[in-house]
Structure 1
Amino acid sequence: MAETFTALQVSEPEPKIFSRQIIQRSIDDLPAGELLVRVRYSSLNYKDALSASGHPGVTRQFPHTPGIDAAGEVVSCSDGRFAPGAAVIVTSYDLGMETDGGFGQYIRVPSAWALPLPAGLSLRSSMIFGTAGLTAALALQALQQQGVAAGSPVLVTGATGAVGSLAVLLLSRAGYAVTAASGKPEQADWLRQLGAQDVIDRAAAVAGADKPLLKPRWAGVVDGVGGATLAAALKACRYDGVVACYGLVGSPELSLNVYPFILRGVRLIGIDSAECPMSRRQQAWQLLADAASQLPLDQLVTEIGLKQLEDYLRAMLAGQSHGRVLIRL
């Protein structure tokens, strides 16, 4: 009899009707791939919540196990890239989208998707970061590479979200004067504990989005909202300002004139973690590993088991979550 394991499975019993349940699955039913990993930790991301609710822009084939993040030990690797027992991280690519993901105790994936767990990280701490941490690290590197100096004023939008809260942590540690924008005033003290020097309401971050330009304020911006928030941030950048955009939780549309670019030399940089080349991915993970011991990660995370996941999925879809949710497999 094939070995079984516990996993969250999303099914489509009727067209566009989706259900979620924790089941026992067979390892033999996992997709093809050189690398079999025993998952110890995963994390909850907005993309996971979309997949778990049947969003066709993320997942089209059901039944399916979401989870774009996974960290664990190698069980077997048919191409010899990893030795059995090696600790590895697998994030993004197609994991948790059409390939069964980290909300199960085992995954089977191409070995090229995995990287060795960097020194300085445990399996647990790597998943406190997860794809959100990778994205925040890539945004920080973009600002640094584009010459945004430490000490400069930087805006983080969507600051209570997974990427936003980690961006506040990483940017403040790197010496930036961070202003956090959020629609959750009750989390203002928490954002200050993470390192924000100032916290503003998201309405203030959007104010003036309809104007050609705004008073120059930000040397850098990390934006996960898009829409009018991104437009206002671009218009409020100082000369040579840099905006790193990774998300569209507010809107995928961008109504904007060219003035920020041709009058102030503002640069808009897209941040993608899903298909990020492995060399750049490794550099970002090393940045996270180097920072981990100096960051108050436990202030950022709520740790749960699979049985508690349903409540947190619902909260995330309702816009009621903040920080990171770590899933212990």
Structure 2
Amino acid sequence: MSGRRVGFCLSSKKRRRMNLDAFAQLCEKRGVEVVEIDLTQPLVPQGPFDVIVHKLSDVIVEAEHDSQSQHLLANFQSYVSTHPSTILVDPLPAMSQLLDRFTSYRIMSQLHKSLRDRLICSPPYLEIHSVDDLSSIQQAVITQTLSFPVVCKTRVAHGSLSHEMSLIFSADSLADIHPPCVLQSFVNHGAVLHKIFVVGDRHYCVERPSLKNFPPGPCAIRFPDTADRKTIFFNSHHVSKPECSSDLTAMDEQMPHLLPPSSEAVAALVRELRVQLGMALFGVDVIINIHTHTLTVIDINIFPGYEGVPQFFPSLLAYIESLLDTNSSADSS
């Protein structure tokens, strides 16, 4: 073994999007061997590995109901547990918590307490576990101080269905939700989403389109002309991907352009989340409240696509090399 072997365990789709072959060539120039791990085969003959970089979201989610995925995950966990010197990016328990929006939103809600001085918060939210009667859901929305409109998102934060969301404008329209799900107060933010991409101790901020502003408050009370506004169903990929165009993102030209989040606030947010999550590869979706200018965290993502981050390959390699150096130091001590 060369001592600089890194295994990548990714879906075929993730490998293509990341262009793992090009990254492997960059690593080779630095004396780092990249090995594509085949989960359907025993891992021991494929190893040993100093570091394993993975995105096992598909396997973890499917393992809840699919025996083959359960077997693949068990084999992977068995290898990791019997090779404690192998560094996992990122730890499975840390990554699993972001697959459940109930858990990740609880983490987000704590940011207001720890980062209040930085004017960082997350919107009020509500967990809907099951199909209760409509009146109890309506009452819970009031109790948790959610304000209309609200965004409804699936509980599972992975897979194509996780991008299917809805914008609900009134209490009566809460009948449109499909539990388990999360309701989150919509914050007007000038149709601009800031995606923060984290790679180890480095981070990058990329601007994307987002939902336009909507009148706040229950439409039937404050805006009678929109009292019958129907729930808007949308796919977040169709709204916030680079170069996408949608009627939902079209802003009034008179809307002044908001300043991007301050670098100091973003750095403080990333530092806090790295500690809270125990992860090195993740993304954070933030918006700027047009009324308070507060940095508002609306979602956290596992090992995102890093589109629009030209420094991703050098940053990932630098982080991997820092882990390899740590391993080498540990071996020699």
TM-score (norm 2): 0.28
Over alpha carbons, which structure has the higher Rg? Answer: 2
TM-score (norm 1): 0.28
